Homo-oligomer: A and B are copies of this chain.
Amino acid sequence: MNRVEILSQGDEVITGQTVDTNAAWLSEQLVLMGFDIVRHSTVGDSIEDIREALSQASQRVDLVICSGGLGPTDDDLTAEAVALLSGSPLEFDAQALALMKDMFVRLNRSMVKANEKQVYLPKGATRIDNFWGTAPGFIVSYKHTLMAFLPGVPGEMKAMFEHGLKPELLKHFDLQPSRRIIFRTTGVGESNLQEKIGKFEHEHVCLSYRAMGREVQVKLRFSAQCKAEELDKHCRYMADILGDCVFAIEGWGQGPVGNLAEVVVALLAAKNIKLVCAEGASGGEFMRLVSLSAKGMSFIKKGYYFAEPNDLHEMLNLQGGSPEEPHYFHLAHTLRSTSQADIALIITPFDSVKSKEGDSIAKSAQCFLVSGHGQLCVSDQVTGSDAYCQHAISYRALNLLRKYVL
Question: Hey, which bits of chain A sit against chain B, CB under 8 A?
Answer: 8, 12-21, 23-31, 37-44, 49, 53, 56, 208, 210, 219, 283-292, 295, 298, 300-308, 311, 314-315, 317, 339, 386-387, 390
B41, A40: Cβ atoms under 8 Å?
Answer: yes
- Given known pairs A285-B284, A305-B305, the reply for A20 and B18 (CB within 8 Å) is no
- Mind listing 26 A-B residue pairs with CB under 8 Å? A13-B40, A14-B37, A14-B38, A14-B39, A15-B28, A15-B31, A16-B29, A16-B31, A17-B210, A23-B42, A38-B43, A39-B42, A39-B49, A39-B53, A40-B41, A56-B56, A284-B284, A284-B290, A284-B303, A298-B307, A300-B307, A301-B306, A301-B307, A302-B306, A302-B311, A302-B314
- Given known pairs A15-B31, A17-B210, the reply for A302 and B284 (CB within 8 Å) is no
User: Which 10 pairs from chain A and chain B are nearest by CB?
Assistant: A16-B27, A284-B287, A303-B305, A283-B291, A16-B28, A284-B288, A40-B42, A16-B24, A284-B284, A301-B307
A292, B17: Cβ atoms under 8 Å?
Answer: no
B39, A41: Cβ atoms under 8 Å?
Answer: yes
A291, B305: Cβ atoms under 8 Å?
Answer: yes
Residues of B with C-beta under 8 A to A301: 306-308, 311
Residues of B with C-beta under 8 A to A285: 284, 288
Task: For A284, give its contact among B16, B30, B291 (CB under 8 Å).
Answer: B291
- A291→B305 CA distance, assembly (Å): 10
List 6 other contacts, CB 8 Å, given A17-B24, A283-B291: A14-B37, A15-B28, A16-B28, A17-B28, A20-B23, A291-B305
Question: Distance in Å from the Cβ of A58 to the closest Cβ of chain B?
Answer: 14
Residues of B with C-beta under 8 A to A20: 19-20, 23-24, 40
Question: Distance in Å from the Cβ of A311 to the closest Cβ of chain B?
Answer: 5
By beta carbon, the residue of chain B nearest A310 is B301
- A306→B287 CA distance, assembly (Å): 10
By beta carbon, the residue of chain B nearest A41 is B41
Residues of B with C-beta under 8 A to A19: 19-21, 24
Task: For A303, give its contact among B208, B219, B304, B317 (CB under 8 Å).
Answer: B304
Residues of B with C-beta under 8 A to A307: 298, 300-302
Question: Distance in Å from the Cβ of A19 to the closest Cβ of chain B?
Answer: 4
Residues of B with C-beta under 8 A to A43: 38-39
For A19, A305, A308, which residue has the most chain B Cβ atoms within 10 angstroms? A305
- Given known pairs A288-B390, A307-B300, the reply for A14 and B28 (CB within 8 Å) is no
Question: Distance in Å from the Cβ of A194 to the closest Cβ of chain B?
Answer: 12
Residues of B with C-beta under 8 A to A339: 314
Residues of B with C-beta under 8 A to A292: 283, 386-387, 390
- A300→B311 CA distance, assembly (Å): 10
Residues of B with C-beta under 8 A to A31: 15-16
Question: Distance in Å from the Cβ of A363 to the closest Cβ of chain B?
Answer: 11
- A284→B280 CA distance, assembly (Å): 12
Residues of B with C-beta under 8 A to A15: 27-28, 31, 37
- A301→B288 CA distance, assembly (Å): 18
Residues of B with C-beta under 8 A to A16: 23-31, 37
By beta carbon, the residue of chain B nearest A37 is B14
By beta carbon, the residue of chain B nearest A315 is B302
Residues of B with C-beta under 8 A to A306: 301-303
- Given known pairs A301-B306, A302-B307, A307-B302, the reply for A27 and B14 (CB within 8 Å) is yes
- Given known pairs A19-B24, A39-B41, A307-B302, the reply for A287 and B295 (CB within 8 Å) is no
- A16→B161 CA distance, assembly (Å): 16
Task: For A386, give its contact among B21, B295, B304, B311 (CB under 8 Å).
Answer: B295
